[in-house]
Copies of this chain bind each other. A is one copy, B any other.
Amino acid sequence: MRVSDDLSITQDIKGVTMYREKIRVLDCTIRDGGLINNHDFDDRFVRAVYTGVAKAGVDYIELGYKNSRELFSSSEYGHWKFCDDDDISRVIDGVDTNIKVSTMVDVGRVDIDDVRPAADSPVDMIRVASYVKDIDKAIFLANHFSDKGYETTINIMAISRDSGPQFEEALHQIKEDCLAQAVYIVDSFGALYQETTEDLIKRAQAILDSKEVGFHGHNNQQLAFSNTIEAIIHDANYLDGTVYGIGRAAGNCPLELLIGFLKNPKFDIRPILDLISNEFIPLREKIEWGYIIPYAITGMMNEHPRTAMKLRNSDKKESYRDYYEELLGSMQ
């Protein structure tokens, strides 16, 4: 009976704990939040988030993308678009914590020569974001970074559009050829709900076997947290969240809700509450994310939020019906 999967009554394999020790929480506040401010968070803010998230007992913190400066200009983007080791060291040095640092790379946007061996870097993990069609390139990158000593994952994006036979083929290939320790299902469009999440997690697990499965939700339809719970129920162990749900468009699974749900006593919600009170309530006055109707509409329609983001920057930002009709029209 499904209810017997309830975390609160699941016994750990050691037989004594109520929580699942294998669960790893990754905070990607600075990385996904950076998508709404050109990755231009100042050092004080990043250090505050790093410190708070570390105190909360979170396992990993992702600070941004490792993009090539050949492709993006330093004058247009902040530090966290490039994640130089020196910038990372400056914001994390002196904080007493075991939290691991992650950066993300996009297929086709990283210069692998920019990445030093892990032994010489403050970065512990590199996550490779990829569409299904680019999985060969993603495997190459993940293996390259694994060889340099990093923990690696592959994060398969736009999964709600691409969950057919090619998705399974990609998973088989990752299983055969890739050193990555985990594969994330990324609901880029915020289009999944419980049953579709369950289906994807189970299919990934069946193919990947000993690799871990992760989940990264988007909150277009207020389902990022519940889909993350659904992933937990079906044994996904790598879970993403962001403080106060910050992230592009509708944002992500709120880290405070995830921490509040998990039973592992190593987690402490209080430093996250402080971050929200002191940093994110003021920040939300300046930049926008969260439950906003045009993003809900793209989620329902399984569309990229880009047209909705454009709408929110126009003088028609609250013209929901017109936007809905336009989007419907553009799909026909």
Contact = CB atoms under 8 A, between A and B. Distances in A.
Interface of A: 2-3, 5-6, 193-196, 198-199, 219, 221-227, 229-230, 233, 245, 254, 256-257, 260-261, 269-270, 273-274, 276-277, 281, 290-291, 293, 296-297, 300, 318-321, 324-325
A273 B321 contact: yes
User: Which 4 A-B residue pairs are closest in the complex by CB-CB distance?
Assistant: A226-B226, A273-B320, A260-B300, A6-B195
B221 A296 contact: no
Contacts of A224: 222
A96 B6 CA distance: 48
A300 B219 CA distance: 19
Contacts of A3: 195, 198-199
A237 to B, nearest CB: 18
B6 A296 contact: no
A169 to B, nearest CB: 20
Q: Oligomeric state, in number of copies?
A: 2
Given A195-B2, A270-B321, A221 B300 contact: no
Contact of A273 (B198, B260, B324): B324
Given A225-B222, A319-B277, A256 B2 contact: no
A72 B321 CA distance: 40
Contact of A291 (B2, B229, B261, B291): B291
Given A221-B225, A221-B257, A257-B296, A320 B194 contact: no
Nearest to A234: B2
A260 B230 contact: no
Contact of A222 (B194, B195, B222, B277): B222
Contact of A198 (B2, B300, B319): B2
A257 B193 contact: no
Given A3-B198, A230-B194, A274 B320 contact: yes
A308 B104 CA distance: 38
A261 to B, nearest CB: 7
Contact of A194 (B194, B219, B281): B194
Contact of A233 (B194, B281, B291, B318): B194
Contacts of A257: 221-222, 296, 300
Contact of A5 (B195, B221, B223, B276): B195
A286 to B, nearest CB: 16
Given A6-B196, A261-B300, A270-B325, 13 more contacts: A2-B195, A194-B226, A194-B229, A195-B233, A221-B225, A221-B260, A222-B224, A222-B225, A223-B225, A226-B227, A273-B320, A277-B318, A281-B318
A10 to B, nearest CB: 11
A227 B229 CA distance: 12
B222 A254 contact: yes
Contacts of A297: 260, 273
A226 B6 CA distance: 16
